[in-house]
Amino acid sequence: MRKPSVAIVLVNWNNLQDTLDCLQSLAGMDYPDYGVILVDNGSTDGSLEVFRSRPDVDFIENGENLGIARANNVGIARARERGFDCIMLLNNDTVVAPDMLSILVDVLESDPRMGIVGPKMYYHSEPDVIWFAGGTVMPWRGDCAHVGYEEKDRGQHDVEEETDYITSCCLLARTSLYTELDGIDPYYFIYFDEVDFCLRASQRGHRVVYVPRAKLWHKVSRSMGGVGSARYWHHYMRSRAYFLAKFYPWPNRLAAYLWIFLHDLPRCMLRFLRRGAFDRIPAYVSGLTRGLSGR
């Protein structure tokens, strides 16, 4: 029986070495039928010169930083044009296990109701420490959280099961689902875009499943200047506020707004002041304001 063809969409933005490492790991996979679509978001680190000459990737140059959601949509559109059966969104700062894609495809193909699947994800710097083992959405906070986050893996998250979301660090779905949902919501620059996609899939009856037998290792948050940077807080709060307004009615939204303004905001402001991270304050506030207004 023929295995479905899979387009692997990578987005690069000034992460040349990470992308090269990722491509090397993909070359070691045991899956027989895949192609790499590499979308560049206006890199200035020599990436363009390197990837223009690589015959093993379908290279697309955006010319500017469109953010992860819009760049993924560019790759998704190319995958649809080329007729791939499935599309896997994959962060370029990952290293995959050789059998990861084979396992994910087998699970996706095991049930016609299966919509989205994703692997167990570890920290690259600490290969036995979990970064993602499923995702939980918390409407009353307008937030979400990775299951197993920063836990040492002792097999405690080894059950294949449905989950609220799969992070777009590695998310596999049939091309038909991307078409049905009209791709990723382009409002998100980064963060919550995959949560939005998975919730929309679930609302239409598609299963979202975490597959712990499939594994990868993630070099977390390099492109955002590290977790806790001003850039991180601006985009996280902008996407969070927009996600909350898009999906939840006023009773849930009011509870989440109270949590944000009475708990998260003062706690974060105090932390920023104590650490002398003064640039985080306007970044957090501007992101929240833009998200609430839909800008």
What pLDDT does 41 receive? 96
What pLDDT does 221 receive? 55
How far is the C-alpha of 190 from the C-alpha of 176, rounded, in Å?
23
At 103-158, the pLDDT tens digits run: 999 999 999 999 999 999 999 999 999 999 999 999 999 999 999 999 999 999 99
Q: Binning pLDDT at 50, 70 and 90, where does residue 295 land?
A: low
DSSP string over 275-291: HT-TTHHHHHHHHHHHH
What pLDDT does 138 receive? 94
Q: Binning pLDDT at 50, 70 and 90, where does residue 3 land?
A: very high
Does the pLDDT at position 202 exceed 50? yes
At 211-262, the pLDDT tens digits run: 999 999 999 854 444 448 899 999 999 999 999 999 998 888 999 999 999 9
What pLDDT does 259 receive? 95
At 42-71, the pLDDT tens digits run: 999 999 999 999 999 999 999 999 999 999
Task: Please count the CA atoms within 13 angstroms of the CA of 255 that sit on its side-chain side.
Answer: 10
- In contact, 181 and 80? CB cutoff 8 Å: no
- Spatial CA neighbour of 213 closest among 152, 165, 160: 160
How far is the C-alpha of 239 from the C-alpha of 223, rounded, in Å?
17
What pLDDT does 227 receive? 43
Beta strands 34-40 and 6-12, pairing class: parallel
Residue with tokens 């777009």: 168
- Spatial CA neighbour of 123 closest among 146, 86, 154, 94: 94
What value does the mean pLDDT take over residues 24-30? 97
What pLDDT does 220 receive? 83
What pLDDT does 222 receive? 43
C-beta neighbour count of 269 within 10 angstroms: 14
Q: Binning pLDDT at 50, 70 and 90, where does residue 31 land?
A: very high
Average pLDDT score over the chain? 94
How far is the C-alpha of 131 from the C-alpha of 264, rounded, in Å?
22
C-alpha distance from residue 15 to each of 11, 48, 192, 233, 295 (Å): 9, 11, 22, 21, 28
- Spatial CA neighbour of 158 closest among 213, 110, 104, 106: 213
pTM for this structure? 0.94
Cα 106 from chain centroid? 21
**Rounded to the nearest 5 degrees, what angle is found at the Cα of 177, between the Cα atoms of 253 and 90?**
85
Percent of the residues in the chain that have a pLDDT greater than 90, as a whole number: 93
